[in-house]
Chains A and B, each alone.
Chain A
Amino acid sequence: AQTVTQSQPEMSVQEAETVTLSCTYDTSESNYYLFWYKQPPSRQMILVIRQEAYKQQNATENRFSVNFQKAAKSFSLKISDSQLGDTAMYFCAFMKHDNNNDMRFGAGTRLTVKP
């Protein structure tokens, strides 16, 4: 079974600065997908960024980028130029490469961006 570990329950960052959220996972699969989801306070969970394991290049989406280290089974999220609207719970998730699309999530990191 796959497990996903987020070792930072809470983090904070000053507005405009950079923060990195950690995620490690355990799997025997060779092909899979990794995701970061964001859940703002009292709002819907939305996808931030996605990485396919067979791609060497780290995914980027505007101010969000990942550092994917396949051998180390590590998938960290870097948020640059942090904004107040980035305050949220962030969940790392793993999905096997099959048709069921069932995901395994980490426990989450609560990020607070301070003005």
Chain B
Amino acid sequence: DVKVTQSSRYLVKRTGEKVFLECVQDMDHENMFWYRQDPGLGLRLIYFSYDVKMKEKGDIPEGYSVSREKKERFSLILESASTNQTSMYLCASSFPGQPSSYNEQFFGPGTRLTVL
């Protein structure tokens, strides 16, 4: 079974703090993703990575950065946390492209971040 783990289920930080959210997958997937989930907005893509040291902006990258130094690990960084970044953060991974049976994204349990 594919396993995607996230470093914390719940996190409370203060405004202005630097925050690291870690995600690890054990299935040798090339692609990894960070989403934030907010009520009424669904999941919105922050960043994704299709290879080590590669990254692409998603729909809402402002205020976030990412790091992928190893294939299995994808980190989301909030350089200076703000209250509007209070949200549920979901990490996912997948194989790239073909065949179609491999393009499913596998999700981690999520990190609920509260910024005070």
Contact = CB atoms under 8 A, between A and B. Distances in A.
A101 B70 CA distance: 19
B31 A100 contact: yes
Contacts of B35: 105
Interface in A85-106: 91, 93, 95, 98-106
Contacts of A46: 107
Say which size band chain B's interface belongs to.
Answer: 20 to 34
Interface stretch (B13-21, B37-45, B72-80): B37-45
Interface string B96-116: 111010011101111000000
Contacts of A106: 42
B45 A102 contact: yes
Given A44-B109, A50-B104, A52-B100, A101 B94 contact: yes
Given A100-B50, A106-B42, A33 B107 contact: no
B99 to A, nearest CB: 11
Contacts of A107: 40-42
A84 interface: no
Nearest to A106: B42
Nearest to B104: A47
